[in-house]
Structure formats: C-alpha cells, structure tokens
Amino acid sequence: MRNWFRKFFGNSAADVSIDQLPGDPQLQNAMANAVLRELIADQRSRRKWSFVKRVFLSAFFLIGLFFYLVVELKQGGWGFTSNGKAIGVVRIEGDISSNSMASADKVVPALKKAFSSKSTTAVVLAIDSPGGSPVEAARISYVLDELKRETGKPAYAVIQNIGASAAYMIAMHADKVYASQYSLVGSVGAILSTWDVHEAIENYKVRQKVFASGPLKAMLNPFTESTPEADEKAQTLVNIMGNRFADELQILRGPHLKDGFKYNSGEIWDGLGAKDIGLVDEIGTIESIISAQAESEMVDYGPGSLKKGLFSASISDWFVQHLTTSVKNVLSGALSPEVR
C-alpha cells in the first residue's frame, strides 16, 4: 500500500490534496489509513533524530564541561593528588614587565592560589627570566613575603636557564634558592638605558625643540644631545638603585654570602659559581625538589605563556601577545629610558 501511495501521490503525506483522492469510500478509507500511518512514521522519525541530536549535543557539552572543570580544579589544587599533598609551582618566565606574563598582575594571583590551596605543602617559583622591571619584582616579592608569613608554608626558588637582575631579586625572597649547574645567576645591580639618535635625525635636518621647567626635566631625551649634568644624574640614580639591590641581598642572604665580595658588579655566574659565593643554596631542579618532598605531587598554577588544557589559549592569542609585547618593548626602549 505504501509503495502504491508513493507511486501516485509522492513521498510525503503532505503532498496529497482532497481532489487527488478516489471516489470509492473503501479506497478513501484505505488511503486515509495509509496517510495516517505515513504521518505517524514521519513524526516518529523526526522525534527520533531530534532526540539523538539533543543527546549528542548534551553529551558533548557535559564532556567539555567535565574536562574544563578537571583542568581548572587541578590548577586550583583541589583533590587531584593521591594523598592530598601537593607542591604548588608558580612560573616566572620571560621579561618581567607590566605587560608580560611575568608581570605582578599575572604572578600575584597565581601565588595566592598556590599558597591558599589546602593541599599545598610548599610553593616552588620556577624562574626562567633575564630580569626586567624592579617595581614589578618588588610587588611580587612583597606578596610572596606576606603569603609565607600568613600561611607558614615554605617557598623555594628554582632558577632554570637564567635568573638574573629583577628575577634574582624575587628569588632571594624564597626560603631556599636552587639552580642547575648550567643556570645563569646574578646580575645584581641596576641599569638605565636610552637611545641617542639626535645626530641621526640631524642628517635629515630635523630637530626637536624642548621647553623644560628645569635643566634635568628633559634628561635622557633620545632626540636631543645629553648634557654632563644629565649624565651625572642618570649615573647617580643607577648607583642608588644598584646599591639598594645589594643592600637587600645582604639583609636577606647575609649569612650565606662571602665577606668582602663585591656582589653589585653586575656579573653573572653559572650555577656552581653562584653556589660558591652564596647566591644559590643548592644545585637542583624542579624534579629533584618534587622527588625530595615525600609523597607530594606537582600542581602547576601558571601563569605560563601558554596554558595547557581543553580550553587553553589559542596559538594565535599566544602569537599576538608576544608580538605586541616585543613591539612595545622595542618602541619603549627607543623612545624612553628603561630601568632594569
């Protein structure tokens, strides 16, 4: 009957009009039953596929939500260690500046999460940075000291490839400083840099006219010739900040340092050399620290350059962030003085 119906009236009951129905009442009744069965079958098919689609979409959403919660809870240190003990790892990677992944705005929240987690028994600062802004380093160091005092949990700094200048400024606030024998450590001091392009622009017969309220108000302007007074003032500032760094080093690590050794020369040492002069306590890596902590697992709190997980930052986001940071740093270094 169904094949006969489709032959004369099409594939769907909706295609049938009253004028097409035959005049025989019995045949009309049979046709009505066929149409009814066709409508019922069509409705069942639609409901079936609608149900399957809803189940599939719901399952996809729930699976995605599950993995998202797993990643977020693991980074928060909740219930993903076999015995409830964890070592929280906070990463300080790359240039320390206000717009980088090693900025205080990024590192401080990670520190607070790591220290506040009930499963965390200690926090490791994984440092791989050549330094940067001393102000950002001071902000991070202040919060680190406060969290250590409030929670009573120890903090260990592990210098990986490099931990210099402002990066070491943060490291020396840890209870212990570790480094690999191949790490680069040190650069205690300060540097103030700017460009001098006034002779270059003079070749194009271009000059910048500057009106300042004082003789040092426009010091270190890259487009005008520097004066002896400005150079002397800049060097004085650098000496003050460098000596302040060295004084803080003596306060925090005095018992470990060598008497009479000049630490504020700006020199960098390898891991073994840094250990010999007291900048580093022990030779080690993150793995050696984790293994030394009995039955503890590692929980990574970031704020690494590229977060891992189902809903991680995209490659394009990572590329754009690093590109804009690099361009900004180049322009900043070219047009304004920079203290490191």
Range of weakest confidence among 24-28, 58-62, 264-268, 293-297 = 24-28
Given a cut of 50, is residue 318 above it in pLDDT? no
- Tell me the per-residue pLDDT of 207-253, one tens digit each, with 9 for 90 and over: 888 888 998 898 888 888 889 999 999 999 999 999 999 999 999 99
Other beta carbons within 10 angstroms of residue 169's beta carbon come to: 25
Q: What is each CA distance from 59 to 12, 56, 88, 314, in whole angstroms?
A: 33, 5, 33, 24
The yes-or-no verdict on residue 72 having pLDDT over 50 is yes
Tokens of 22: 């035959």
Provide the 3-class DSSP secondary structure of residue 80.
Answer: coil
More confident residue, 322 or 25: 25
**DSSP structural state of residue 46:** H
**Which pLDDT does position 156 carry in this prediction?**
97
Q: What is the pLDDT of residue 337?
A: 52
Q: What is the dihedral of CA 306, 310, 311, 314, to 10 degrees?
A: 50
Which residue bears the tokens 């440092």? 127
Over the stretch 164-195, which tens digit does the pLDDT of each residue have?
A: 999 999 999 999 999 999 999 999 999 988 88
Q: For helices 2-9 and 25-75, give the axis angle rounded to 10 degrees.
A: 100
Tell me which fold the domain 84-335 belongs to. 2-enoyl-CoA Hydratase; Chain A, domain 1 (3.90.226)
Does residue 295 register a pLDDT over 70? no
Lowest mean pLDDT among 75-79, 140-144, 148-152, 239-243: 75-79
* Closest listed residue to residue 281, CA positions, set 204, 171, 197: 171
Residue of 168, 226, 172, 170 lying closest to 194 (CA atoms): 226
Exposure pattern of 269-283 as b/e (b: 16+ CB <10 Å)?
A: bbbebbbebbbbbeb
Query: Per-residue DSSP letters for 218-242?
Result: TTT-TTS---HHHHHHHHHHHHHHH
Domain definitions of the chain by residue range: 2-70, 84-335
